Amino acid sequence: MEQTLKKQFIRCSISIVFFVILTLIIVLNTLNFRHIAIHTENVLNMIIESNQEISNNSVNIISIPPIPPVPLYNSYSFGHFSIKLDNSGNIIGFNAELNYSISEDTINSYVNKIMMSQKSEGIIDQYKYSVFYNEDITNIYFLDCTLEQTLLYTFLKNSILIGTIAFIAIFSLITIYSKKVARVIAQAYDKQNQFITGVTHELKTPITIIKGNAEVIGIQEGHTMWTKSIIEQSNRLNSLIDYLISLTKLEENTSINKEDFDISELMTESCLFFTGVAKSKSKVIEYEIQPNLFYQGDIQNIELLISILLENALKYSEAQSIIQVKLRHIKGKNTITISNKTQNLDIREYKEWFDRFYRADSSRNSGNSGFGIGLAMAKTIVVNHRGNITAESLDGKTVIIKIIL
């Protein structure tokens, strides 16, 4: 049990840590991207607002006056140039900052792509561009964002690296301390089971004596409502003790005796047995069992599992209702579903039904006797077989218990 708790603790903790680190990386990189995007937008706008005259010479490089400094970066960290086009899309002017060069073929390629896209602004390769139409002239301004892209990718790389290192470090710490945490929980759970086992054994003897005395009084003096009540409640307490002992044994002995058996035949026999019980309660069991399905597990525990679920369905289903039982082989696994109509349901999953001693208020007020242990035993059996069990209502009227083995 300690190993199971340790694995669950590590899995849960690591999932939370991974989610937090991933969220931080995404948020920080998003903020960094927005910051750089706004800054480059501001620089490009300052270049445009400087109203530089684009020369009609498409060969010479003309020096552009310095741009006023902007926050975080100097304007000279941005290479930039501008192009003037005529009404036919021909280049009639070109401006570039001092010592900034770009091939004529590259310029023509950029112009063609921009004119085809018909966008007024965007990004092409490492350049951010903006297009302005003025009568018969089109001006296109380009800003070289190579440095900003490098900073962006460097920040992303570093944040992922730091996040990975932090994740590995935290994972190591969690792995080290999880053993201590799991041991404390396991010890508390073992003590609880030892207490339950001790108490149940101590209670069994006096309850048996009380029941025996009541039966003797009934034989000698005739049974009265009092002796009958004593015997009935003694039987009920004995049933509770047997349930508690069985549950404790199931939880302590997680290793099971595996054997191959025909689960289809076992399900059919269980349904036939409970058909008579259902008939006495004016209810019907309808079963649809896929034949010749085999399973490797503890046949006695699986039989107990099916009995618990059918008994639970008969106890809490509506009067004159139909209980549907199905066994199917789906995606390589045996899937059992038991459904029945009942009252006071919400459309949701009912995980709490599998907790020890859980009984809903509607069950307590319905007059059905029970201890809230049956489904806890069912879950323990399924978990010991490394399966999964769920209970849910999809329409607020019918409860479906599904087991995957």
pLDDT tens figures, 336-383: 999 998 887 888 888 888 887 776 655 544 455 555 678 888 898 898
Residue 140 CB: number of other CB atoms within 10 A?
A: 21
Q: What is the mean pLDDT of residues 127-151?
A: 86
Whether residue 202 is predicted with pLDDT greater than 80 in this model: the reply is no
Most confident of 100-114, 217-231, 293-307: 293-307
Mean pLDDT over each residue of the chain, to the nearest integer:
81
pLDDT tens figures, 73-93: 344 456 788 888 888 778 888
d(CA 241, CA 371): 10
pLDDT at 28: 94
- The full set of domains in the chain, from first to last, is 2-151 (3.40.1840.10), 259-404 (3.30.565.10)
Lowest mean pLDDT among 155-159, 176-180, 369-373, 400-404: 369-373
Q: How far is residue 199 from each of residues 192, 250, 253, measured CA to CA in Å?
A: 11, 17, 19
Q: Which residue has the higher pLDDT, 220 or 21?
A: 21
Among residues 136, 160, 116, which one has the least CA distance to residue 24? 160
- Token pair of 125 as six digits: 């390769």
pLDDT at 17: 93
pLDDT at 318: 86
Residue 182 CB: number of other CB atoms within 10 A?
A: 20
pLDDT tens figures, 111-136: 888 888 888 888 888 888 988 887 78
Lowest mean pLDDT among 48-62, 213-227, 234-248, 284-298: 48-62
Lowest mean pLDDT among 157-161, 182-186, 209-213: 182-186
Share of residues in the chain with pLDDT > 90 (%): 24
Partners of residue 139 on adjacent β-strands: 84, 132
d(CA 64, CA 93): 14
**Is the whole model's pTM more than 0.75, yes or no?**
no
